[in-house]
Amino acid sequence: MNVGKVIGHLYCTIKDPHLTGQRILCVRPLGGREKPFWALDAVGSGAGETVLYTTGREASYAFLPEIVPCNAAIVGIVDELREEEP
């Protein structure tokens, strides 16, 4: 799992039926070295928010029992984040 920022959205009229009603948001990974990508939103996040996301098939677990063909999902809105070097 990683942390990123919501920076955009897209719309598809023609799409896989399991994506109907899902919000598709653009997420830029924190740190800026990796390319933004598109994720389904499972928690109601919005532009500018710092979010926790997961990738791979396990991303689709956030939408069970619906089985969605997605490989990235926003699963949390980050309140506090701390990296320390013990």
CA–CA dist 34, 20 (Å, integer): 28
* Least gap, CB of 66 to a second copy (angstroms): 10
Query: Is residue 23 a contact point for a second copy (CB under 8 A)?
Result: no
**58 secondary structure, DSSP code:** G
In the window 28-57, what residues touch a second copy (CB under 8 A)? Answer: 31, 33, 35-40, 42-45, 47-48, 52, 54-57
Answer yes or no: are the C-beta atoms of 53 and 73 closer than 8 Å.
yes
Candidates 63, 73, 77, 61; CA nearest to 37 is 73
CA–CA dist 31, 71 (Å, integer): 21
Query: Is residue 26 a contact point for a second copy (CB under 8 A)?
Result: yes
Binding mask 3-22 for a second copy (x = CB under 8 A): x--xxxxxxxxxxx-xx---
Residues that bind a second copy (CB under 8 A): 1-3, 6-16, 18-19, 24, 26, 31, 33, 35-40, 42-45, 47-48, 52, 54-62, 64, 67-73, 75-86
